[in-house]
């Protein structure tokens, strides 16, 4: 059995998943998450079946010191399997990269690949809510076109508390407050509307351009915004969605991992 370990190194935590080659996208043999420090310290114990790994693929948006330490730990635990860092390239995982600048984040491109594998053809808007919020568009022709980057929910809330003298640090709000009548509610509602509004406008633009576009969202802060974006809290099944439901928003927790595993499995993929 060929097994692929995908590792998503984010700004605040690391997610990993072990996949059997040929399994349906998002079907994992095992998975987990934690801090980079904890994973580096206990990698052999944390990752099952490391000795039987066929390949390790990882992406990182963390600092180089964290990335280097994690890569060294992965190599030590991989049992001789190749360990490769995923970086954006002209094409990978069935997507052509049309981003005009060489600074595209690996997580954005991998998430777009993951969304395409899970949800098939048609235009996609891929919104990932983490430390930063990214909202990207994929064309029906399988072109990654680019998108938005804005501060994440917690980053917005923290900035208001840090950069102003009299505004408090508040918790994010999930329930709609139509006209907030307290400062705390005003902040929470303002941040939530800014996030949801950026997503809705991007979806509207994609639908004007392509006629239809499916919204796919992911990320740790996503549950706070699910209701505002017309999504149920229940996890999305891993089977590809039918074209009949192309306008129904979808939630999937592991878009980056799905994209990393798909890219590693594709014939002819040669990571940098």
> Could you give the residue ranges of the DSSP H alpha helices within the chain?
36-41, 43-46, 64-77, 106-119, 153-163, 183-210, 255-265
Read off the pLDDT of each residue in 118-143 and give the average, rounded to a whole number: 95
Determine if residue 211 is labeled as part of a ligand binding site.
no
Backbone angles phi, psi at 136, to 5 degrees: -115, 155
Structure tokens at 99: 């981003």
Confidence of residue 269 (pLDDT cuts 50, 70, 90): very low
Structure tokens at 64: 């180089």
Determine if residue 84 is labeled as part of a ligand binding site.
no
Query: What architecture is the 3-85 domain classified under in CATH?
Result: 2-Layer Sandwich (3.30)
**Dihedral angle computed from the Cα positions of residues 240, 196, 233 and 222, in that order, rounded to the nearest 10 degrees:** 80
Indicate the helix (H) or strand (E) that contains 270.
Answer: none
Confidence of residue 233 (pLDDT cuts 50, 70, 90): very low
Determine if residue 133 is labeled as part of a ligand binding site.
no
Determine if residue 10 is labeled as part of a ligand binding site.
yes
- Catalytic residue annotation: 107
Q: In the prediction, which pLDDT does 196 show?
A: 92
167: CB partners within 8 A, 6+ apart: 160, 161, 183, 187
Confidence of residue 239 (pLDDT cuts 50, 70, 90): very low
Range name among 42-46, 62-66, 147-151 with the lowest pLDDT average: 42-46
For helices 106-119 and 255-265, the axis angle rounded to 10 degrees is 80
Burial of 65 by CB count in 10 Å (0-12 exposed, 13-18 middle, 19+ buried)? Answer: exposed
Q: What pLDDT, in 10s, does the model give residues 241-262?
A: 444 456 678 899 899 999 999 9
Same fold for the pair 3-85 and 115-255: yes
Cα–Cα distance between 14 and 135 in angstroms, integer?
21
For helices 153-163 and 183-210, the axis angle rounded to 10 degrees is 140
Domain boundaries, the chain: 3-85, 115-255
Q: Answer whether 61's CB lies under 8 Å from 88's CB.
A: no
Q: In the prediction, which pLDDT does 104 show?
A: 95
Range name among 4-13, 108-117, 183-192 with the lowest pLDDT average: 4-13
Determine if residue 97 is labeled as part of a ligand binding site.
no
Cα–Cα distance between 5 and 20 in angstroms, integer?
9
Q: Which residue has the higher pLDDT, 12 or 230?
A: 12
Range name among 6-15, 48-57, 59-68, 143-152 with the lowest pLDDT average: 48-57
Determine if residue 219 is labeled as part of a ligand binding site.
no
Read off the pLDDT of each residue in 207-219 and give the average, rounded to a whole number: 94
Q: In the prediction, which pLDDT does 49 show?
A: 56
Query: What architecture is the 115-255 domain classified under in CATH?
Result: 2-Layer Sandwich (3.30)
193: CB partners within 8 A, 6+ apart: none
Q: In the prediction, which pLDDT does 106 show?
A: 95
Determine if residue 163 is labeled as part of a ligand binding site.
no
pTM confidence score? 0.89
Q: Is the pLDDT of residue 238 over 70?
A: no
Q: In the prediction, which pLDDT does 184 show?
A: 93
Q: What pLDDT, in 10s, does the model give residues 73-126?
A: 888 888 788 999 999 999 999 999 999 988 899 999 999 999 999 998 899 999
């Amino acid at each position: 059995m060929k097994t692929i370990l995908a590792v998503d190194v984010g700004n605040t935590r690391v997610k990993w998943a072990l996949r059997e080659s040929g399994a349906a996208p998002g079907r994992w043999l095992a998975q987990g998450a934690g801090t980079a420090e904890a994973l580096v310290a206990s990698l052999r114990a944390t990752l099952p079946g490391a000795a039987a790994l066929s390949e390790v693929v990882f992406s990182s948006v963390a600092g180089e010191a964290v990335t280097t330490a994690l890569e060294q730990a992965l190599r030590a635990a991989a049992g001789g399997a190749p360990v490769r860092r995923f970086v954006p390239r002209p094409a990978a995982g069935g997507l052509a990269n049309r981003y005009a600048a060489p600074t595209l984040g690996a997580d954005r491109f991998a998430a777009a690949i993951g969304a395409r594998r899970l949800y098939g053809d048609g235009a996609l808007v891929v919104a990932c809510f983490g430390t930063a919020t990214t909202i990207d568009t994929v064309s029906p022709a399988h072109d990654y076109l680019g998108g938005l980057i804005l501060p994440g929910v917690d980053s917005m809330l923290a900035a208001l508390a840090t950069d102003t003298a009299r505004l408090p640090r508040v918790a994010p709000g999930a329930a709609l407050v139509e006209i907030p009548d307290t400062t705390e509610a005003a902040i929470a509602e303002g941040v939530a509307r800014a996030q949801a509004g950026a997503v809705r406008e991007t979806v509207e633009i994609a639908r004007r351009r392509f006629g239809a576009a499916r919204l796919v969202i992911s990320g740790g802060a996503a549950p706070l915004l699910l209701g505002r974006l017309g999504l149920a809290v229940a996890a999305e099944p891993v089977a590809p969605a039918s074209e009949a439901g192309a306008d129904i928003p979808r939630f999937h927790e592991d878009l980056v991992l799905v994209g990393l595993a798909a890219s590693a499995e594709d014939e002819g993929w040669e990571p940098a």
